[in-house]
Structure 1
Amino acid sequence: MAKLTKPIVFFDIDGTLLDDKKVIPDSTKKAVRLLQDKGIQTVIATGRVPKMFYWIQKELNIDSYVSMNGQYVVYQGKEVYSNPIDPSVLQSMAAMALRNGHALAYCSHEDYKVNEKNHPFIEASFDSLMMPYPEVDKDYFNQLSIYQGHLYCSEMEAQRYIDRFADFSFVKWHDVAYDILPRGASKAIGIRKLLDVLAIEKENAFAFGDGLNDIEMLISVGTGVAMGNAVPEAKAVADVITTSSSQHGILNGLMKVGLLEESLAL
């Protein structure tokens, strides 16, 4: 298959497509629409479960995504890559969490469920997303393939899980919440799988992000763009730093890298 030269752009959600109020700025809607009008493919790349961003897909007319930190990839509505976690490992984690008063969440391609009700760390982390407390189902990992877990505990306590489950990575996304992924899994892996399917060279791939789980993604593409509100670690590896998500960061970044015209400046 011949390599395609048309650019493709990957967007993180929280702190990138969404501003600090968890809404999509008008300038971002405009920027994404203009990319699509030019035939440039737009893809969501997130740690979230698909159910958590359907409304964003609809609002931005994006039907391709790298979800759950690269564990489940969809192109134009069709699954192109998935990497489920062994249920027996999740069962071991659940037993350890129960003994220590911690909590877990299980993320499938359809939904996400937690194993404890009214847990303060779950409440705190979902409050930060401005989302309601998830449904409780302690046995969810035995019902559907699970691609990502969440661990809810303090940073000091998380080290016990890191030591116990050496084949997994625990990526912090809140003071008391961690994504649980097979070691080596990342948005970058999911992006590479999609680029391979589409026969697009990485030099024609762009990515926008702000968090710790965006670092590999920003490095793996031809041009990585860190938001102005990004963590220092993401800014350090980015090729370009734009303004914050609340200050037209997507539009400004796309102009900086030459995908949109400078005349669009607000």
Structure 2
Amino acid sequence: MSYKIAFFDIDGTLVNEDKQIPQDALEAIFELKEKGVEPVIATGRAPYFFHHLAEQLHINSYVSLNGGYVVYQGEVIYKRPIERSDVECFVKRAAEHAHSLVFEGHHTFSTNNDQDPFMIDAVSSLKVELPLLHEAFWQEEDIYQIFLHCKEEDEPLYEGHVPGLRMIRWHHTALDVLPKGSSKAEGIHAMLDILKLTPEEAIAFGDGLNDMEMLNAVGLGIAMGNSHEDLKPYADYITTHVNEGGIANGLRYAGLIE
């Protein structure tokens, strides 16, 4: 198969635990571009959380916010915000249980509790600035994703409460909350349609639970050696750890770099 496009998750895939791109991964991406294959970021992060990484990689196309906001060569080609009524229901539910929320728009984000240690712990792990306090942000902007900050044992308090939403845990103090049916795969399909490419002409790399649909949506799904164990069954191939040449080795397996 001649692959034309490659989608890359960020955390644990393009960057390591220090949120740095390993040099071998950087060189592999540049070689991939020289071979005529387009690299695209595919992440749960919002655009303002990875601009610096995109600039370092010279990538201007991305599937962000777990498929909710998609940009190709600087142009927005797809967006799917959460229904305002669903956001309102979720806000009320979180207030009942005293759990903090972070609201993610496409250009900035905010929180309804800037002192919550759970929120500070989770957002700080991304090596980004903390959100400002703005409780009414969700009433003024389109929201593509919400961070819910709670312990794992509290998740049943929310499951099924708002039928239009689903949750994916990404940190021990945080979950992504997004529209039901939304995923990186949905955003990838939107981009492939624009480019008139088939899923079989695409490959994808990931390591987390929000990468399951993505690995199934392409011709070759590659899981990092450091992947969550529940992701690995969804992969066509398991490469090495992010710090052990995972990106380069995966691209070599795909026959895309030397």
TM-score (normalised: structure 1): 0.94
**Matching residue of 2:186:** 189
DSSP-derived class of the 1:246 partner: helix
Q: Secondary structure at the match of 1:232?
A: coil
Matched residue, 1:71:
68
1:146 aligned partner: 143
Corresponding residue of 1:100: 97
Alignment check: 8 A CA contact 1:113 1:134 kept = yes
Aligned pairs, number: 257
Name 2:198's counterpart in structure 1.
Answer: 201
Report the AA paired with residue 241 of structure 1: I
Matches within 5 A, 1:145-224: 145-224=142-221
Q: What is the CA deviation profile of residues 206-242 of structure 1, one whole-angstrom value per residue up to 9, with x for unaligned ones?
A: 0000000001100110000000000112111101111
1:260 partnered with 2:257: yes
Q: CA RMSD in A?
A: 1.2
Q: Which moved more, 1:174-183 or 1:204-213?
A: 174-183
Is 1:248 equivalent to 2:245 in the alignment? yes
Q: 1:25 aligns with which of 12, 22, 27?
A: 22
CA distances 1:185-210 after superposition (whole Å, capped 9, x unpaired): 10001001110110001111000000
Given the alignment, which residue of 8, 11, 20 partners 1:14?
11
Residue 113 (1) aligns with residue 110 (2): yes
Distance in 1, Cα, partners of 2:93 & 2:199: 40
Please list the CA deviations of residues 160-201 of structure 1 after superposition, one character each: whole Å capped at 9, or x if unmatched. 111311221111101121111111110001001110110001
Post-superposition offset of 1:118: 1.0
Match for residue 233 of structure 2?
236
Residue 224 of structure 1 aligns to which amino acid in structure 2? G
Tell me the distance in 2 between the aligned counterparts of 1:90 and 1:250.
37
Pick the aligned partner of 2:81 from 84, 92, 102.
84
What residue identity is the alignment partner of 1:240?
Answer: Y
User: By how many angstroms is 1:10 displaced?
Assistant: 0.2
Partner of 1:60: 57
What residue identity is the alignment partner of 1:125?
A
- The letter of the residue matching 1:156 is E
Q: Distance in 1 between matches of 2:141 and 2:202?
A: 32
**Structure 1, residues 142-164: CA drift from partner, whole Å, max 9, x if none?**
22211111111112212111131
Q: Is the 8 A contact 2:35 2:256 kept in 1?
A: no
For 1:75 and 1:130, locate their aligned partners in 2 and report how far apart those are by CA, in whole Å.
25
Q: Give the whole-Å Cα distance in 2 for the aligned partners of 1:30 and 1:191.
A: 24
Distance 1:233 1:100 in 2: 29
Q: Distance in 2 between matches of 1:52 and 1:227?
A: 22
Inter-partner Cα distance in structure 1 for 2:257 and 2:197 = 20
What amino acid does structure 2 have at the position aligned with 1:8?
I
Whether contact under 8 Å (2:86, 2:165) holds in the other structure is: no
Structure-1 separation of matches of 2:233 and 2:85: 38
Matched residues in 1 for 2:48 and 2:11: separation? 15
Aligned-pair identity (%): 42
The code of the aligned residue for 2:227 comes to A
| Contact 1:97–1:103, Cα closer than 8 Å, also in 2 | yes
